[in-house]
Amino acid sequence: MDLGIKEKRALVLGASRGLGRAIAQALAAEGAVVFAAARSVDKISAYADAADTIHAVELDLGQIDQVDRVVDGLIKDGGVDIIVNNGGGPPPGAAQTAERAAWLQHFEAMAANLFHLNARLLPMMKERGWGRIISITSSGVEQPIPNLALSNGIRSAVVGWSKTLANEVAGDGITVNVVMPGRIHTQRVDELDAAAAKRTGADVAEVAAKSRRTIPAGRYGKPEEFADVVTFLASARAGYVTGSKIRIDGGSIKSI
């Protein structure tokens, strides 16, 4: 199936590892020109060398000057057609003990600066009459995950922004969707399992096995499976899918 994104320009955030890396590689495999952004460009360069269409971009979403510098460069070079809003999550913690400073710090990096980046890149999409904006959140926006208060709260704000923006730009040929990963086997999931083991005193392998038993599919997902869905949403074929939340969680969320 031709997805119609050959030579489309895609910005993938949080692309040094895990889901971001898998998405960058999947888009490049379809012929897109990918700007893979993260704080650690060395990790991107390590896999970008195998694909001429992946370009490493240094970007810390927590630093607004860096955000503007990257956006300035992309606009000067012709803008982008596809934005994948992805990034690492905040540390675990309970809602009742989360401090104001932590909320502000992580909201700036995970939401406010992200909204700013997209707003600056949108006009060129509108001029072309085509664009794709995909935000990676978490299953916690539908079914809050215990001890991930910062993530549950801030990512829910991204969902509200995405739906509002989707309604505003649908007539311009731009789709805006949210994709919610469940337990996809990335380094982040290993870190969360390790944190749960430390908190409860259990063995990490025990924690992971217990987590897998709660998933109807009986396993953690593969990053490549997740990336394939995101790549389809970024494609010309998905032009009538907008304002949606799509789960990739092996059936973990209990409601329809």
For tokens 């070079």, the residue is 77
C-alpha separations of 185 from 45, 59, 161, 248 in Å:
22, 24, 27, 12
> What's the length of the chain?
256
**pTM of the predicted protein model:** 0.94
Residue 48: count other Cβ atoms within 10 Å of its Cβ: 21
132 forms beta bridges with: 82, 175
Tell me the per-residue pLDDT of 115-163, one tens digit each, with 9 for 90 and over.
999 999 999 999 999 999 999 999 999 999 999 999 999 999 999 999 9
> In the numeric block, which tokens belong to residue 198?
């430390």
The rounded distance, in Å, linking the Cα atoms of 146 and 75 is 40
Q: How many CB atoms lie within 10 A of CB 128?
A: 14
Tell me the pLDDT tens digit for each residue of 156-214.
999 999 999 999 999 999 999 999 999 999 888 888 888 888 888 998 998 899 889 99
